[in-house]
Amino acid sequence: MTGVLEKMTLLTGGDGGLDDHLARHGRLPALDGDQIVGLARDASLTGRGGAGFPMWRKLGAVAAAGTPATVIANGAEGEPASGKDRLLLTRRPHLVLDGLHLVALATGARAAHLYAPAALLPRLREALSARRAAGLDKLPVTLTAAPGAFVSGEESAVASAVAGRGAVPTDKRIRVVATGTLVQNVETLAHLALIARYGPGWFLSAGTFLATVSGAVVRPSVVEARYGVPLGDLIAASGGATERLQAVLVGGYHGGWVPADPALPVSPEALARYGASPGAGVVVALPARACGLAESAKIAEYLAGQVAGQCGPCVNGLPRMAGTLADLAAGRPRPGLAGEAARLAALVTGRGACRHPDGTARLVLSAMRAFEADVAAHLNGRCLATGGRL
Amino acid sequence: MTDALWYFARGSGVVALVLLTIVVALGIGARSGRPAFDLPRFAVSLLHRNAALLAVVFLAGHVVSLLFDPYASLRLFDLVVPFAGSYRPLWEGLGTLGFDLLIAIVVTSLLRNRLGARTWRAVHWLAYLCWPVALLHGLGTGTDRGAWWLWTISLTCAAAAVAAVGWRVSPAFARFPARAERRVAPRLLEEVSR
Amino acid sequence: MTRLHIDWTACDGRGLCTELLEEVLVEDDWGFPVARDGQAEPVVPPPLEDAARRAVDRCPMLALKLVRR
């Protein structure tokens, strides 16, 4: 790693205060809206909130909405297994706020918001005062506290919360961007702030993503790497596995289980083969002696409890689906149990205002596929992973 | 002529009350999501709507004949402002109130696609006020006050409405009793202290 | 193509649409409408457009809308 690269990555040292930020990166160059969209396009910058949507397309859609734009930096991080957004907002708030300023310019926005957990807001308020004193931002940034809930980071819930209506997902007949609202994950904005200084070419060759590694690792941590990084490298960067691994959950609680293959590249293309994607960069390592079905059942139960509560198929279907997986995990078999879980997964998918039922169904189906051998064993009263009777 | 107006006003008033009782029962039936009397759910819903429109027709007849009846001394003003009449103002005023409520309910229902579900539903709940008001108006005002046949019809309507409401609040009402309640999770609405 | 959009934040599974548009919708375990074609916004072919409009009009929760996508 050369000195130049050290300077230009997200998570290098420093206190993250404004002076440190300006000393490290300097002020943003003067750019107009078209240039900013061009930068995002040429760098192929994709969203880091989970969906991986190309940022320049979103900027274009918001501009095309024809209404005064609102830009929102989404730092809610409702995903329990993710810690990168909190880390960025604590250690690199000015990169995030630079990025917010850039998208505000790019969309001609009239309002800018930062949405983050309440605990982080006091320090963010200080960061905003420092920026105001230095005359850095075109628009004042309004802070809104994100409730500690799984769906609080969902795009329409973010827009709703910032508008004072609570973090409640809304119907998608009209897409959020079509209302002139741009919601971007804080990490995506931080990358844009670096691209504006160092160029799209630099990002294409040296741009990174943040992974939160947890589970059976020595030092659960946030690791900065390039897409395509082998899974083993991420685990090694977290101190290595504490014991032999069985599988790894990638993408978060709405993600999928992949084999614990150290050579497996963490990239959209390589993970697609397993029906998974990097998502918001979550990596959870499952030890060999833990039951994958039991862990998945716990996650499904958590997700069922985190429904927003508005949509019939989700409110009714998720607890039933989680219960079916729990019965399977606990060895309470009945005829057609596995088929029932799959049927419920198909029944809830696409039938809600947001993608919470879809993501939960995806996790359940992924678990049934990844731990297929244990599904059969459990139906016969045994667990392969724990090696015992149920 | 005034006799004809007098008979028509009384008759149409009673028919309107009976129809409104049927409307309330059908409204509750429609809410149950169950088919009724071999009619599918959407037909119950349409019957509820059509009975309400028919009730409005008879109510209009009732009001118009009273406006033209010299003995009733009803003015246009009394159609809008209750309790300001000269003849049994309290009971006539209830009629005004019921009339105004029904117009509000029917107009908002006809325009509900434009007004949105929340506004429409809020006004529609006034039906539970409108019907008893209409019943009391019928019992207290007019030249038939105290007549045995009017009491019989009124009590029958009351029994039907009470039975329908009783069914509405009973646990047997829900077609899917195991359904989870749809309610926005309070944690999403919390005002998190800064 | 004309499609039926269901606003799930409004739908209360009252079941009128599954009667009026039975070729397109069927009830799930809890009375909520499921598209027979398995799509989130089921296609409404031209012969069923009148029935679909009636379903949109009769829905007590105003949860249905026809969209062109």
B188 assigned to some structural domain: no
Residue B159 belongs to some domain of the structure: yes
Given a cut of 60, whether residue B157 has pLDDT beyond it is yes
* Residue A138 and residue A125 share a domain: yes
Three-state SS at A389 = strand
What CA–CA distance (Å, rounded) separates C9 from A314? 11
Structural domain boundaries, residue C59: 2-68
Write out residues 174-193 of B within 8 Å (CB-CB) of A: 179-185, 187-190, 192-193
Q: Maximum CA pair distance of chain B?
A: 75
Q: Are residues A20 and A148 part of one domain?
A: yes
Q: Which CATH number characterizes residue A311's domain?
A: 1.20.1440.230
Mean pLDDT (chain B) is 92
pLDDT tens digits along B116-138: 999 999 999 999 999 999 999 99
**B184 within a domain of the structure (yes/no):** no
Identify the CATH number of the domain in which residue A158 sits. Answer: 3.40.50.11540
**CATH classification at residue C32:** 3.30.70.20
- Provide the pLDDT for residue B84: 87
Predicted confidence (pLDDT) at residue C14 exceeds the cutoff of 60? yes
Q: How many separate domains does chain C show? A: 1
Question: Are A256 and A112 contained in the same domain?
Answer: no
- For residue A388, is it within any domain? no
Domain boundary among A161, A191, A206: A206
- Nearest alpha carbon to residue A163 among A180, A139, A149: A180
* B192, part of any domain: no
Chain C residue whose CA is closest to A346: C38
Q: Is residue A260 part of a domain?
A: yes
What ipTM is given for this predicted complex? 0.97
Tens of pLDDT, residues B21-63: 999 999 999 898 888 878 999 999 999 999 999 999 999 999 9
Task: Residue A17: give the domain boundaries.
Answer: 3-206
pLDDT for residue B193 is more than 50: no
Instruction: Quote the number of domains for chain A.
Output: 3
First to last CA, chain C: 6
Q: Residue A107: inside a domain, yes or no?
A: yes
DSSP-derived 3-state class of residue A319: helix
Looking at the structure, tell me whether residues A21 and A158 fall in a common domain: yes
**B39 within domain boundaries:** yes
User: Residue B192 has what pLDDT?
Assistant: 53
Residues of chain A with pLDDT under 70: 1-8
Question: Which residues on chain C are in Cβ contact (under 8 Å) with A173?
Answer: 5, 7, 65, 67
Task: State the total domains in chain B.
Answer: 1
Q: Tell me how far apart the alpha carbons of residues B84 and A349 are, in angstroms, rounded to a whole number.
A: 59
Is B116's CB within 8 Å of C57's CB? no
Residue A78: CB atoms within 10 Å: 23
Q: In this complex, how many residue pairs, one in chain A and one in chain C, have their CB atoms less than 8 Å apart?
A: 48
B83 is in which domain, residue-wise? 2-177
* Contact predicate B142/B13, CB 8 Å: yes
DSSP string, A280-315: TTEEEEEETTS-HHHHHHHHHHHHHHT--S--HHHH
How many pairs of residues across B and C have Cβ atoms under 8 Å apart?
41
- For chain A, the maximum distance between any two Cα atoms, rounded to a whole number of angstroms, is 68
Asked if residues A360 and A254 have their Cβ atoms less than 8 Å apart, the reply is yes
Cβ of C31 within 8 Å of Cβ of B112? The answer is no
In 3D, which of A58, A10, A46 has the Cα closest to residue A277? Answer: A46
pLDDT single digits (tens) B136-149 = 999 998 888 889 99
Q: What pLDDT does B194 receive?
A: 42
| B136 Cα distance to chain centroid | 12
Residue B26 counted as domain residue: yes
A64 part of a folded domain:
yes
